[in-house]
Amino acid sequence: MAPAGSAAWVYDRQQLWSRVELAERRRDAQTARELQIAIPRDVPRERWRAFVADVATPYLAAGAVVDVAVHEPRAGDGAEQPHVHMLLTVRALDATTETGFAAKRNEAVSALLTSGGSHGGGARGDALRRERERVATIINDHLRAAGSRRRADHRSYAARDDPRTPEPRMGESRKAATAKRRSHDRRTLVIVGLRQTRQLENQIIEVEKDMALRAKGFARAPARVREPHQQDYKLGLLADRFPDGDFSPFRDALYLVDAKNPRRTRVLTRDGAWVESDDESGTVSLWGPRSANAAALADAIAVSTGYGVDRLERSASGRKPSGNKRKQAMPEAEAVSLADKWHRRGYMDVTEGPSGVRVGLGPRSRLLDSGDHIDLVGPVSEVALRALATKAAEDWGGSLTLDGPWPEEAIGRLWLECQRQGVDLVGYEPPPELVAEWNARSAIIADSATRLRAVRSETREADILLAAASGDVAALRRLPADLRAFVQGHLDDDQRSELAHADREAVTASLPQFRRYGKAELERDPKAATVVAQPIEPAPRDDHERHPT
């Protein structure tokens, strides 16, 4: 890679570095600056060229020629470890010289990577820290574009308040010596041990995290994580899901973070409010009691993801006739039992919590089951009404009482659903027009059921007819007289064989015609429907069979 308008020879690696060597006079001259930059595994291969171009842009603008090589060795975990090596020329191009390079060092390139002392530009290492921050920003931009939640951080462990111990410095000369003698010295042995330990710890953490997320009951940290570090664990879950956000102000407000579903994240705050992020719909939903912490958290997630915030209000409530709304936290065992029931009913979006079991009923509808009381949040959809009636039918003895204000039209729809499931909506008198609507629907349902029974009966009859045409005498006896006469009297052997291989749907559609043929055969021969038992022929005798004497 070279600045625009460069000569053709700069793209020939052999000519380039031969001229670089000729441009130097001292035997110990620095001919290039080398950079090694990791390419995250989450960045797809087709984006590597763009990634390298973004990193190299300021070097090219400063007048350097950048020789790029991408390597893909195997990492300690056996996976690929792609990284890019960049060699930067330290002199600017100059077409007026014999070598093609300027007589003086390129100060613009030096200023990008060197600072402090005679170089100016602040303290020693400031320039390199700025460059590391710039590269980390580019890495994160490409990770974000690839849809990855991973992020790079240019800061040291100490600057991040991370308790992990950094590896001792090894240096290129020590690495080369180790590779040459094919054995470790004391320092490289320590480094290898640290890396192996870190790999094992990371595997254990991932397994424990997966077990904690998949376990039934309230979402919690792995067993080894204790207070106050559980709050840090919850913050870590949020940071993993939303790496561009800062959630440290909400550390003490988090009660539960449910990250079981990779596309959805749910947070229950200590004041009972829910904040939910859904990647599929691109929304952050906020519902439950009014909470300043929950509202601020929803805004922080929305800023991090670019999603919109959707405030859902409680729209209706129902309860068991003899029950009341729970005032204390729900025990975990009871929450697990309630959640299992909702799973058995076919609802998969279920989360247990101290305030009850939360059930997702669609993009904007929620249900909170606290045992003897249910709150409906968001639009009162048909799915929500069906869930409420099902709960009353199975857990509340077939009775349901409305609790609090309800949309009038929703009450009518709920009464119709209760009628379908045999649930008594206590204290509600439906208007005459609603009763008439139910009676009309009942008649349609009854008529549909009659037609369905007729279709099933004809399909069953077609199966028996096919078996009878194949020679099954028991099936022939099960047929009505007109169809027996059709099979025995109207059809010959070839036609029966052809019918036996016919399609069931075609036979079902032709049953009325077959019956007419059978009735005509019965009028011609009243005995055409009589099934004659087939005589059992004796087995042929073996003349060589031995008989007792």
Examine the pLDDT at 443 and tell me if it is beyond 50.
Answer: yes
Element (H, E) at 192: helix 186-214
What type of residue sits at position 500?
A
Q: Supply the pLDDT for residue 83.
A: 93
Residue 152's pLDDT band (cuts 50, 70, 90): confident
Examine the pLDDT at 407 and tell me if it is beyond 60.
Answer: yes
Examine the pLDDT at 537 and tell me if it is beyond 50.
Answer: no
Residue 210's pLDDT band (cuts 50, 70, 90): low
Q: How far, CA to CA in Å, does 429 sit from each of 101, 352, 425, 436?
A: 95, 35, 9, 13
Q: For residues 230 and 104, which has the higher predicted lDDT (pLDDT)? A: 104
DSSP secondary-structure letter at 146? Answer: T
Cα–Cα distance for residue pair 338/226, rounded to 1 Å: 28
Q: Supply the pLDDT for residue 399.
A: 92
- pLDDT digit string (tens) for 94-145? 888 989 999 898 888 888 888 766 566 667 778 888 999 999 999 999 998 8
- Residue owning tokens 């059978």: 518
Examine the pLDDT at 207 and tell me if it is beyond 70.
Answer: no
Mean pLDDT score, 164-176:
77
- pLDDT digit string (tens) for 30-73? 899 999 999 999 999 999 999 999 999 999 999 999 999 999 88
Count of beta carbons in the 10 Å neighbourhood of residue 66: 21
Residue 448's pLDDT band (cuts 50, 70, 90): low
Highest mean pLDDT among 16-25, 112-121, 142-151: 16-25
Q: Supply the pLDDT for residue 549.
A: 46
pTM of the model: 0.57
Q: How far, CA to CA in Å, does 140 sit from each of 166, 239, 243, 247, 305?
A: 22, 14, 10, 18, 14
- pLDDT digit string (tens) for 281-306? 889 999 888 889 999 999 999 998 88
Burial 275-306 (b: 16+ CB within 10 A, else e): bbbbeeeebbbbbbeebebbbebbebbbebbe
Examine the pLDDT at 533 and tell me if it is beyond 70.
Answer: no
Taking alpha carbons only, the member of 381, 386, 314 closest to residue 346 is 386
Q: Supply the pLDDT for residue 452.
A: 58
Examine the pLDDT at 538 and tell me if it is beyond 50.
Answer: no
Mean pLDDT score, 76-98:
88
Cα–Cα distance for residue pair 314/384, rounded to 1 Å: 12
Examine the pLDDT at 204 and tell me if it is beyond 50.
Answer: yes
Do 388 and 376 touch, CB atoms closer than 8 A?
yes
Instruction: Average the pLDDT over each of 76-90, 186-200, 220-234, 450-464 and give the range with the smallest value.
Output: 220-234
Instruction: Average the pLDDT over each of 189-193, 380-384, 484-488 and give the range with the smallest value.
Output: 189-193
Examine the pLDDT at 273 and tell me if it is beyond 70.
Answer: yes
Examine the pLDDT at 530 and tell me if it is beyond 80.
Answer: yes
Q: Supply φ then ψ for residue 66, to 5 degrees.
A: -115, 115
Mean pLDDT score, 500-519:
85
Mean pLDDT score, 267-277:
89
Query: What CATH fold (topology level) applies to the domain 8-145?
Result: BirA Bifunctional Protein; domain 2 (3.30.930)
Q: Supply the pLDDT for residue 285.
A: 92
- Domain boundaries, given as residue ranges, for the chain: 8-145, 172-214, 314-426, 438-529
Average pLDDT, the chain: 84
Mean pLDDT score, 419-437:
88
Do 47 and 35 touch, CB atoms closer than 8 A?
no
Instruction: Average the pLDDT over each of 64-73, 440-449, 496-505 and give the range with the smallest value.
Output: 440-449
Q: Supply the pLDDT for residue 300.
A: 92
Instruction: Average the pLDDT over each of 320-334, 353-367, 529-543 and give the range with the smallest value.
Output: 529-543
Cα–Cα distance for residue pair 354/360, rounded to 1 Å: 17
Q: For residues 203 and 545, which has the higher predicted lDDT (pLDDT)? A: 203
